[in-house]
Amino acid sequence: MASQEGQRDGIVRELEKARRELLDLTTRNRLLDTPRHQPRAKTVEVVDEKADEIFRLRVGEGKKLAFLPRAPSSPEVEEASGLDGINDLSVFSIEGSAALDAGEGGVAPRHVDSRLQTTLDGPKLAKRLLQLHIDARSALEEQGFNILYLAMGFLRWYEDGRLDRARHAPLILVPVTLERTSAQAGFRLSYSEEELATNLSLQEKLRSQFAIRPPDLPTDEDLVPTAYFAAVAQTVRGQAQWSVLPDDMALGIFSFSKFLMYQD
């Protein structure tokens, strides 16, 4: 009996070793460096939302969420910012004002409605969502698995000796689908009901390069995003300028194809 258990443990260790060897630990991997706030990035940034509320609506209650384009700003503001409005998060940032318009429980109505606020205007948002939908559908048809995720919470980290270049790695990856009733209708985001994904690339990067062991992702039923983010922040507290961005979210393509065969 002990011999069989030893053999089984040995097989598990070898599978784990093989899985980790397949991980891409370079910054070309979106799981280690997700493009943020870039006009040409193939993501949809979600802003001025609360991770716990989005998780509750999306995973806990299974609600479908629509997308809200950014509020239009004047040409003068866009010219002054030099960002053409794409990265101008000030149109959503209401820091310190939550108490002024908070509803029951201190949560603002905009944080519990069925619309995700974004940084893109209407036409650009529609185009970006359509491309994500096409890419995700093609991967599902050709490879047999979903690669569209809502990334919730990011670790802002730096490579050794490169404090001038911030990297952003997602902490929670919620598998989702984009749906619409017609070509003219807007897309809605739905939870695919698959298991939440752990960012194994980030875990291995932190372990092998920085000797950091981040906490494992709790089960769906036990997961409270802000509590998990706080636990991650605790493990990286010794790293200069590193930080956890708990309410940062982005919809995008994240491929796990290199190690799907080794997942339980």
Give CA–CA dist 158/110, Å, rounded. 33
What is the average pLDDT across 132-136? Answer: 95
Kindly state the helix (H) or strand (E) to which residue 171 belongs, with its residue range: strand 167-179
Query: Has residue 199 got a pLDDT over 60?
Result: yes
Task: Say which residues have a Cβ less than 8 Å from residue 36's Cβ, sequence separation at least 6.
Answer: 43, 45, 154, 168, 248, 250
pLDDT in tens, 155-166: 999 998 788 899
* Cβ count near 236 (within 10 Å): 17
Range of 2-6, 70-74, 168-172 with top mean pLDDT:
168-172
Residue 169 Cα distances to 34, 46, 49, 172, 219, angstroms: 6, 15, 19, 10, 20
pLDDT for 28: 86
Instruction: Name the burial class of residue 154, with classes exposed (0-12), middle (13-18) and buried (19+) by CB atoms within 10 angstroms of its CB.
Output: buried
pLDDT in tens, 31-70: 999 998 877 788 999 999 999 999 998 888 989 999 999 8
pTM of the model: 0.79
Give CA–CA dist 28/169, Å, rounded. 12
